[in-house]
Chain A
Amino acid sequence: MELIGLVRRKAYVDSVALMRVSDQLRALPGVLSASAVMATDLNRELLADAGLLTDDAKTAAANDLVVSVRAETREAARAALERAEALLASRRAEEGPVQDAPPRSLLSAGRRSAGATVALISVPGPYAAAEAHQALSAGLHVFLFSDNVPVSEEIALKRRGAARGLLVMGPECGTSIINGVGLGFANRVRRGDIGLVGASGTGLQEVTTLIHRLGAGISHAIGTGGRDLDAAVGGLTTLQALEWLGRDVATRAIVIVSKPPSDAVAQRVLAAAVATGKPVVACLLGWKGATPAAVRAVATLEDAARGAVEAVGRTPLALVAPPPDLAPRARGTIRGLYTGGSLCEEAESIISADGHRFTDFGSGEYTRGRPHPMIDPGLRNAAVAAAGGDASVGVVLVDVVLGYGAHANPAGALASAVASARAGATRSGRTLHVVGHVVGTDDDPQRLPEQEAMLREAGVLVCPSNRLAAELARALVGAPDGS
């Protein structure tokens, strides 16, 4: 066993740095104990207690550095002292400037970005309410994409928001366009003077993109979440949004879009819309209640867009669908395979005849544990392909939704499914039509003209609105096959 050491007179090193050196020395092979300390009275006592006080160290003073090593062999002790010298001399390599780690909460993120106004929340449902409440505490408006939020939480959030002058869009809010910025799934729509409020995500996307196609533009499109016009929620966000659009100078006409609302809430919301003093167009899908005279009630999303364009004093451009007599009549029924819920509902209500089947692949049963079909249309496209082998199907009716957040090339993905469906039908000697509508604009990242062209090439009868697509599908099965 060997005890050796070194003493450096008047060589101050911080005690913590020395503890680190000691630690590393003790880890060396053959080293029994080691210590690097400033030789204060206390430290010399500690060294003595640990059997590490060399003769040199006994005379060292508080400003002297002592390194002592007890090792199994002289070589090991020497090696440890050399290592100590190296460690004491070394400086850590220069690091670049320390990057701020990303914020761990919405509150922190809000504090860090001075211009933050909106929290976009898409965390799993069970955690979403806490996040949204935190965002309100941070003074942020909320866009809540998450679903499976209890309705009691939705009400609490919306009441809190309203009391603080903050808008709570959602839960289950798919889209909004605020001051030209798309949140969630949103299309690039021309700026203009039509303001929208919608308890229906794809409904809002359809109306805003049709307004664009018809030659006008929008000020804002405010999503409220699908349950906002339910009796329990009472239209809290819709009423707040209507009041805001009423005060918004850029908005000259207002469109309300909704899935079937509660009757009492619909009445309250329409009255609030009239109170803005601006022209109002309402498309409350499936609602049959009495509409105030000042409101223009329409039954389809396309009519909502058209009505709004007329309300701001413009003449809507024409929307032209392929004429039904271009294609041979189909034998069989219509199979509606949709990624957008409101589009699916609208088509179903337009066709409104028995025997046809419609599936909304965005509904809960198809999205559990997988992305929304607007992001990943795989399941829907597989159903399109499968329809080729189903002798009961004469027409497949589909939607494609473009815009931010959506699949990068949804038409391309659908086209191959269409090709395989049509090939399957041909093999069994059937005629299978695929009728489709692309929700989008020429400014969308996926570019509407290219997406439509891709579908036409695959043999899809492409219509400029969901309403026209549904009507074409109905016409195609409306008469026996004439060929």
Chain B
Amino acid sequence: MAAEPALLTGRLGVVNAGVDLFADALTAQGVAVTRVDWRPPAGGDAEVSALLAHLWREEADAANREALGRLLAAQPVLVDVRPAIDVIPGMTRDTILHAGPPITWERMSGPVRGAMIGALLYERRASTAEAAERLAASGTMTLDPCHHHAAVGPMAGIITASMPVLIVENRAHGNRAYSTINEGLGRVLRYGAYAEDVIERLRWIEATLGHAVGAALRASGGIDLRALIAQALQMGDECHNRNRAASALLIKALAPHLAALDLPAAERARIFAFAGGNEHFFLNVGMAACKAATDAAHGVPHSTMVTTMARNGTDFGIRLSGLGDRWFTGPSETPVGLYFSGFSADDANPDVGDSSITETAGIGGFAMAAAPAIVQFVGGAPADALRATRLMYEITLGESDVYRLPTLDFRGTPTGIDVRLVMQTGVLPQITTGIAHRRAGIGQIGAGVVKPPMACFEAALRALAATRP
């Protein structure tokens, strides 16, 4: 005789969605009941609910296990710095990569246009801003998302051929991801600035910093970014809006190898001053690490897991592991946040940048509980940060086994956004972000929190449902 059915012999535990009366009845019987704070999905849209009913299926569940497994197993290692033209797949001299989903020049926001102009000046494709603008608008350049080239960029996210790019290798799956070297704060290209000092800095990064960091990395044998991020989370970073600890750890790892390079003392000093003076020195490195992990998780048929969230300053776009290269977009919202002196929400550009790859991979806003120093962005008290992170467990498929949160008893960060759970619960991913001025070149004017538009997730859900047999 086969074994007795477990339901009939074991102790009953119940989860209740709906009428409280039935949960009360179980409590009265001494049975453990967990009550769901249930509300109709998609604000009561029965059609969405019917689609959801078709997506809670074995093939999606199995695909998600595979996709999440790859995301969690990724082993990003920072290995080198090389010119973009040499390493980024599909890169050409006529290509300008940008953040977020695809967009035409006509629809681009101020800071992204400014950064494109700056990049063309830097590449010596134009000698004046006006000429650069004409060239960018002419249609002769290929404007393409970084995400289509295994790359990510913060804010405008511009990458052109000559820029040195960080190379992150995912040693678990063999894929690579790329990002530029962070330029620091203030007037910088990624916020759309293209004055001479900006271009000069880019040239120095190309001529000196990139070579030095690349050589140091090759000498080091690579820096294990998984371990570094795990450590930074325990030192008060969430690795999107706060990168102080991670930047320090990165410089610490690079320092002996940079010091050993055959460089003029003044150059070496400038390298350390530049890296040490930039509290977001790690941001691009962390983003590339997250991109290497999410790319490995991309392309699992039927998976409902989000593998990209990115903004181009006009649109917010997401991609799902199970839906290949299709983007699902909605209008990019303006972050809710705190502003530097002299600026207000009226000056803010709609949310921009690929940096939300961090949340996609389970850190950044999802690891808010790790970063008590910046809890002002989510309400002001450490308790608000814990609540913010806890809410993200409601829309994720799993938890990191490496990135752990001390304030939540070392629970792993919520990882792997499930579009089904987003639509079911109405809870949107929380992204911590910098705020750019809407005019090119002014730079960062604040920081805060932003959410993707629900429309992205609803469109993705409909597309998933349409692919079912």
Contacts and interface: CB of A to CB of B under 8 A. Distances in A.
Given A20-B338, A98-B383, A220-B8, A184 B22 contact: yes
Nearest to B424: A105
Interface stretch (B193-201, B312-320, B339-347): B339-347
A471 interface: no
Interface string B321-349: 00000000000000000111110000000
Given A16-B377, A117-B7, A182-B25, A34 B53 contact: no
Interface in A80-130: 92, 95, 98, 100-110, 112-124, 126-127, 129-130
Contacts of B12: 117-118, 178-179, 181
Contacts of B105: none
Contacts of B375: 16
A122 B19 contact: yes
Interface stretch (A137-145, A281-289, A340-348, A450-458): A137-145
Interface stretch (B27-35, B119-127, B248-256, B260-268): B27-35
A163 B58 CA distance: 10
Contacts of A248: 4-5, 8-9
B162 to A, nearest CB: 27
B421 A107 contact: yes
A133 B23 contact: no
B291 to A, nearest CB: 26
A46 B5 CA distance: 70
B3 A247 contact: yes
A126 B46 contact: yes
B8 A116 contact: no
Interface stretch (A47-55, A323-331, A413-421): A47-55
Contacts, number: 240
Contacts of A50: 341-342
Contacts of B376: 16-17, 19-20
Interface string A19-45: 110110000000001110100001001
Contacts of B374: 14, 16
How many chain B residues sit at the interface, stated as a range, is 35 or more
Interface string B37-78: 111110000100110110011101100000000000000000
A130 B26 contact: no
Contacts of B386: 98
B469 interface: no
A121 B373 contact: no
A37 B151 CA distance: 34
Given A16-B338, A119-B14, A137 B56 contact: yes
Contacts of A244: 5, 7-8
Given A126-B46, A181-B29, A19 B52 contact: no
Contact of B13 (A117, A123, A183): A117
B5 A130 contact: no
Interface stretch (B79-87, B170-178, B216-224, B388-396): B388-396
Contacts of B53: 129-130, 133, 153
Contacts of B39: 104
B37 A46 contact: no
Nearest to B369: A98
A438 interface: no
A108 B19 CA distance: 18
A92 B25 contact: no
Contacts of A23: 338-339
Given A16-B373, A179-B9, A181-B26, A37 B35 contact: no
B198 to A, nearest CB: 14
Given A103-B34, A104-B425, A49 B342 contact: yes
A174 B338 CA distance: 53
A22 B339 CA distance: 9
Contacts of B377: 16
Given A50-B342, A404-B25, A123 B18 contact: yes
B15 A119 contact: yes
A405 interface: yes
Contacts of A102: 35-37
B466 interface: no
B56 A105 contact: no
A233 interface: no
Contacts of B17: 106, 109, 119-123, 131
B56 A178 contact: no
Interface of B: 1-19, 21-23, 25-26, 28-29, 31-32, 34-41, 46, 49-50, 52-53, 56-58, 60-61, 185-186, 338-342, 373-377, 380-381, 383, 386-387, 390-391, 393-394, 420-421, 424-427, 446-447
Interface of A: 14, 16-17, 19-20, 22-23, 33-35, 37, 42, 45-47, 49-50, 52, 92, 95, 98, 100-110, 112-124, 126-127, 129-131, 133-137, 140-141, 145-146, 153, 160, 163-165, 167, 178-179, 181-184, 186, 219-220, 244-245, 247-250, 375, 404-405, 445
15 contacts: A16-B376, A16-B377, A23-B339, A104-B36, A109-B15, A117-B10, A117-B13, A119-B14, A120-B15, A130-B53, A145-B22, A146-B18, A181-B14, A375-B21, A405-B22
